[in-house]
Structure 1
């Protein structure tokens, strides 16, 4: 039975190019023209083109959530994105390549077409992108003003549902097939790590230190010796990419970038120690420790929103590498969150886990939704 037909209109903008950026996307029923889903998000400091690609990805995902068998006509006023995604222009910029690759895997290529439209015909997506940027400037998450009945828009942070945790259970029966295994590797040390300074997605994006590179090589040796890693996925940040490349290089694999694995945005706390953040922003820090919905000073992201995007990244990786063992290189907050979700533990469980630099955790995911935590904070390869 053929799937539904959707029109996705997407846009993105940056006030400064690069500067504060956001995207917006709508999904319409192709027959009636009715908007049935909306998505928008402030994405921090980025270029127009990055924001446009993020809008495209969000629109495609919203359509996929409504009907994974649908056919989609994407309409955008970005000639660059339309021509690149149609295959007529090469994608040369390194920031665009992983985003285009991510957009291509949402639906089979045969079911997506791309059409350029003038800006005046893309007003709804443009409006949502500006709403998202306005929300980000005000230090809050975007929320829809008038949500359509069948919309699949991102909910307001105050109403965020808990990300779906895999169901609890013992080892899955054999008829469920091989599980998908995440080998979760925290990146090696940077200059900030030994000082225990906040180092998130909006900070300086430091490289690995000399010790961090040594740790990455020791982890790579141990992982290669096990002989089980079949794919490598990394956060886009420099320290994780460098850590991931140490293993990928030895195995002859490429490093696939997953934006949802990036560290939390720590806002004004970036570069500070816990004691310094406590001295300068005591009320904000106390609120953050007390509630998963609270955000670091100046950040647009809470642990609740991080859990949402981490769960989406998890599901996307599982779908792509079903039944295989994947090295997932990320940061403290996303890895702790993946472990927490696997255990079905409450949000404050992340404060009760130790996760050392270059440590390894392992989680297995079964086809019925069961998850099994197999390893936590293993540093034996560093001894």
Structure 2
């Protein structure tokens, strides 16, 4: 992560794979750390932890085609993920950093730009990526733009 990046606070998913890095960053930058479950990854239900090739291909194809009509068994729909991330975005502090997961990052891009679920999967979002968004909100609406996307970053 660039040292010249202004970060006034860090908000993290409560899942360990995000929270561990968030704790390290908060300590290194001496900023407040907030934990927020709304930044969790999409709940894949019965598919959680499975490699895509382990999921029945017909069910996976239906999910990719329409993740609202065909969410993972016992899991979360795309619109549910978008709703909770949209709510979390409105609570993010100015110059705040959210340490989260790929699905939540894509949902944030969808919420602020209006891109649909197919479009947000059209760009590479590698593990450890730094996605910068300019966000504005008002009257319960969230909008914004992508201002930077950097590949894997090391604190």
Q: Counterpart of 1:240?
A: 18
1:375 and 2:125 aligned: no
Q: CA deviation at 1:230?
A: 0.4
Moved beyond 6 Å, runs of 4+:
none
TM-score, scaled relative to structure 2: 0.87
Partners of 1:227 and 1:308 lie apart in 2 by: 28
TM-score, scaled relative to structure 1: 0.37
Asked if structure 2 preserves the Cα contact closer than 8 Å seen for 1:306 and 1:334, the reply is yes
Q: CA deviation at 1:364?
A: 0.8
Q: CA deviation at 1:274?
A: 1.1
Asked if structure 2 preserves the Cα contact closer than 8 Å seen for 1:333 and 1:350, the reply is no
Aligned pair count reads 150
Q: CA deviation at 1:228?
A: 0.5
Q: CA deviation at 1:286?
A: 1.6
Match of 2:106 among 322, 336, 345: 336
Match of 2:64 among 289, 311, 336: 289
Q: Counterpart of 2:53?
A: 275
Q: Counterpart of 1:231?
A: 9
Asked if structure 2 preserves the Cα contact closer than 8 Å seen for 1:362 and 1:375, the reply is yes
Q: Counterpart of 1:39?
A: none
Partners of 2:137 and 2:104 lie apart in 1 by: 22
Structure 2, unmatched stretches of 5+, are none
Q: Counterpart of 1:305?
A: 80
Asked if structure 2 preserves the Cα contact closer than 8 Å seen for 1:292 and 1:348, the reply is no
RMSD: 1.8
Deviations 1:235-279 (A, max 9, x none): 0101111111111001212310111100111122122211111xx
Deviations 1:320-360 (A, max 9, x none): x2xx2011100010101111222211222232121111110
- Would the alpha carbon gap of residues 315 and 247 (structure 1) be closer, same or farther in structure 2, given more than 3 Å must change? same
Q: CA deviation at 1:367?
A: 5.3
Q: Secondary structure at the match of 2:115?
A: coil
Alignment of 1:46-61 (within 5 A): none
Partners of 2:126 and 2:36 lie apart in 1 by: 22
Q: Which has the larger radius of gyration?
A: 1
Asked if structure 2 preserves the Cα contact closer than 8 Å seen for 1:284 and 1:297, the reply is no
Q: Counterpart of 2:36?
A: 258
Structure 1, unmatched stretches of 5+, are 1-218
Q: CA deviation at 1:374?
A: 0.2
